Structure 1
Amino acid sequence: MRPDAWHLTEDIDEFLSHANDFLCSRPALHTMQLTVLEKLRTRGADAYGGAGTVVGRLERAGEVGATFYRLPSGGLGVTPLTPEQAGTLAEHLVALGHCLRSISADHNTATAFAEAWQRHAGATPTLRVRLHLYRLGTLTPPEPFPPGRGRLAGEPDHEHLMRWCREFAEDVGEAVSIDAASWDGTRFAEKRYTFWETPDGTPVSMAGLNPMVGGQVRVDPVYTPAHLRGRGYAGAVTVEVSRAARAAGAKEVVLFTNAANPTSNALYRRVGYRPITDWAAYDFAYGTP
């Protein structure tokens, strides 16, 4: 056996029996792996559109050093890799006949893998988005703090939530259908939402929390309608859900921001979030035969 070897499987429970300790060793950095794999573990093949999910772990002398998941859509998510490891993984996946549509990972890993995938698979990578991954340090409510209060969204708020999630998806360029029929199959369904309300009870902003996995919770999405922005509502609702996550026992509270949005990056830094790493997503295009 080679010193480093990738072990692939479709059995999530078997995979986690080997890789869970590794993933939980750095829960903030591994937030995407933890949440995606937990959804697969609890919901099975239907979680991401049916059968075809493959997961893999990189081992040396029985120790896991990296993992990946490949979804039925062709999306690949990877924990940090060296350029050599990224190249080896790309070569291995090509040899097994995998066709990838995208990769999402820390910036250095995503870029190294995209270059390797172009060499080995002949696909042209296009950078879709650059993100920053933040973790919560000392929570610092914004000053001035807007009047109002946070309120957990309930069943009567479902139509309102779907409308705001549609608007959020449009703002960030996500191609997703969000309505009563499709809601359960979207990434927005598994979250717990909080509204920020003005003193008269009008919702003006919202924030979602992903389920806690491995001691980490990810804040996503945070959304304020365009005509209500600039009044401190997003900061207030972010503080509200961040405080709730800590109170629920989260060791790490994390969130992603678009690197091209200076307003949101400045906001999250003001309320106590600190950068962990840069993140990137690449899409792959293939030439016609």
Structure 2
Amino acid sequence: MNYHVTFDRDAQSFWDANAESLLRHESEYNLMIGITLGIISAERTWGELSCFTVRHGSKIVGQAMHTGGDKPLILSSMSPGAVDALVDATIENDFFPERVSGPAETAEYCASVFASRRGAKTSIFQRQGIYELREVIWPPPDGGKLISGTPEQRDLTLEWAEHFVRECFPEEPEPKALAEDMVKNRLGAGHVYFWETAEGDIVSMAGRNRESPNTATISWVYTPPEKRGRGYARSVVAHLSQLWLDRGKTACNLFTNLANPASNKAYVSVGYEQLLEARIYSIESP
């Protein structure tokens, strides 16, 4: 049987075809699922959506998605043969990504195939851990509480969001613009939260980035350097995760930069477990 790749720009059509396959690994594929459902619900818009479904015979064996510009091509786990078919299909649609992102082995192979077609080289842009929590391990109480961000806290949210982008994505060319997008889409929707101490000081931030049917993705975790080492990030992540479990989700998930062992340790301490390593590869122009 041969591989066959379907190209689609419609999020609903892509979801109708791939929902069952993607939801078998809901936390692992939270990014692709969340983007798709965000577009369908009109929570988010993207400049240009390109979706690819890879089949072997009648069986779906892989998916890929690109949201325009210099964003990476997002991959599900798939075999080398499926990747070869995917690369052929993207080239047929006049598309060469600058980066690819997905489960480590798939992303590495996909980047190498694209690079060989262009006479280019590849390099690891970032190693990420995808973590999942199903039950919170509570940190020691410190008298603080989780509070929802308000429009009055826009300046603080924007400042911390920009610091978050600069620390986590140092090669991001427009960190302020990305932070402004986060504030615009998350703060007004009630998806930004802070940890407030017993004295009334706001010391840490986290947000609900996206949802899938049974999970919520936590992101934008930031504590100012002078406030670190006191467990505030653990507290805000633990309580925000529990909030979404209380709202009916069966799990929460998050991405981490594996080059930052301190934050990874903090997430594990409140109940997150690593499911897989994902990698972002850059494909350098020849």
Match of 1:171 in 2: 167
Distance 1:274 1:10, change over 3 A: same
1:78 counterpart = 2:75: yes
Contact kept, 8 Å, 1:193 with 1:207, in 2: the verdict is: yes
Q: Which shifted more, 214-223 or 78-87? A: 78-87
1:66-106 deviations in Å (ceiling 9; x for gaps): 21112221420011112232223223322332121111111
Pairing of 1:65-214 with structure 2 (within 5 A): 65-74=61-70, 75-143=72-140, 145-172=141-168, 173=170, 174-178=172-176, 182-183=180-181, 192-214=191-213
Please give the TM-score of this superposition, normalised by the length of structure 2: 0.90
1:32: Cα distance to partner? Answer: 0.8
Are the equivalent residues in 2 in contact too, given 1:169–1:175 (CA < 8 A)? no
Aligned to 2:222: 223
- Tell whether the 8 Å contact from 1:94 to 1:121 is kept in structure 2 after alignment: no
Residues of 1 paired with 2:92 and 2:210: CA distance? Answer: 36
**Partner amino acid, structure 2, of 1:227:** E
Cα 1:97/1:187, change in 2 over 3 Å: farther
Q: Work out the CA distance in 1 between the residues paired with 2:102 and 2:13.
A: 23
SS of structure 1 residue aligned to 2:14: helix
Give ranges in structure 1 of 5+ residues lacking alignment: none
What amino acid is aligned across from residue 151 of structure 1 in structure 2?
A: I
TM-score, structure 1 length as denominator?
Answer: 0.89
- 1:187 Cα shift? 7.3
One-letter code aligned to 1:9: D
Are 1:137 and 1:274, in contact at CA under 8 Å, matched by a contact in 2?
no
C-alpha deviations, 1:161-197, integer Å up to 9, x for none?
1111011011112333436995369776677111001
How far does residue 124 in structure 1 lie from its aligned partner after superposition? Answer: 1.9
Q: Is the 8 A contact 1:70 1:76 kept in 2?
A: yes
Q: What letter is aligned with 1:163?
A: E
Once the two structures are superposed, residues 9-47 of structure 1 have per-residue CA deviations (whole angstroms, 9 ceiling, x without a partner) of 112222212112222222111101011112332349x82
1:225-264 correspondence runs (5 A): 225-264=224-263
Per-residue CA deviation, residues 134-166 of structure 1 (Å, 9 max, x unaligned), is 1104311123x3331111111211121111101
1:34–1:181 Cα change, 3 Å = closer
The 2-side partners of 1:276 and 1:148 are apart by 30
Q: Deviations over 1:198-236 (max 9, x none)?
A: 112111001111232221111101110011000000000
Q: Which amino acid aligns with 2:92?
A: A
> Counterpart in 1 of 2:277?
278
Q: Which residue number corresponds to residue 47 of structure 1? A: 45
Identical-pair percentage = 21
**Equivalent position amino acid for 1:251 in 2:** T
The runs of 4+ residues in structure 1 deviating greater than 4 Å are 179-182, 184-191
CA–CA separation in structure 2 for the residues paired with 1:180 and 1:91: 32
Query: Number of aligned pairs?
Result: 282
One-letter amino acid of the structure 2 residue matched with residue 68 of structure 1: A
- What is the aligned-residue RMSD (CA, Å)? 2.3
Amino acid at match of 1:267: A
